A and B are shown apart, each in its own frame.
Chain A
Amino acid sequence: MPSITYVHPNGDEQVIEVVPGTSVMRAAVTNGVDGIVGECGGQAMCATCHVYVRDEFLAALAPMNDDEEEMLEETAAPRDEERSRLGCQLKMGSRLESIVVDLPSMQVEE
Chain B
Amino acid sequence: MGGVGAERRPDGGAPGVVIVGGGQAGIQLADSLRTEGYNGPIDVFATEAHLPYQRPPLSKDFLGTADDPSALPLRAEKFFAERDITFHRGVSVTGVDAATRLITSSAGDVLGYAALVLATGARNRQLAIDGAELEGVHYLRTLDDATALRVELERARTALVVGGGFIGLEFAASASQRGVAVTVLERGERIMGRVLSEPMSQHFSQLHGDASVAIRLGEGIARLTGVDGHVTGGVGTSGALYAADLVVVGIGVEPNVELGRMAGVGVSNGIEVDSYLRTSDPFVYAIGDCCSYPNAHTGTITRLESVQNAVDQAKVLAKTLTGQPTEYVELPWFWSQQGADKLQIAGIVDVAGDPVLRGDPACGKFSVFCFRGDHLLGVESVNNTADHLAARRILSHHLPLTVAQAADPLFDLKAYSRAA
Give A residues with C-beta under 8 Å from B: 19, 21-22, 26, 29-32, 38-45, 66-67, 70-71, 73-74
Contact = CB atoms under 8 A, between A and B. Distances in A.
A66 B75 CA distance: 28
B389 A74 contact: yes
Interface string B66-92: 111000111111110010000000000
A50 to B, nearest CB: 15
B307 A39 contact: yes
B56 A43 contact: yes
Given A67-B342, A70-B385, A74-B389, A38 B67 contact: no
A40 B66 CA distance: 19
Interface in B370-389: 383, 385-386, 389
19 contacts: A21-B67, A21-B68, A22-B68, A29-B72, A29-B75, A30-B73, A30-B76, A32-B75, A40-B56, A41-B57, A42-B57, A42-B61, A43-B56, A43-B335, A45-B335, A45-B344, A66-B385, A67-B383, A73-B389
Contacts of A30: 72-73, 76
A75 B78 CA distance: 26
Given A39-B307, A45-B344, A32 B385 contact: no
Contacts, number: 58
A32 B389 contact: no
A70 B56 contact: no
A66 B386 contact: yes
A8 B203 CA distance: 44
Nearest to B51: A30
Nearest to A22: B68
Contact of A31 (B61, B76, B307): B76
Nearest to B344: A45
B311 interface: yes
Contacts of A39: 307, 311
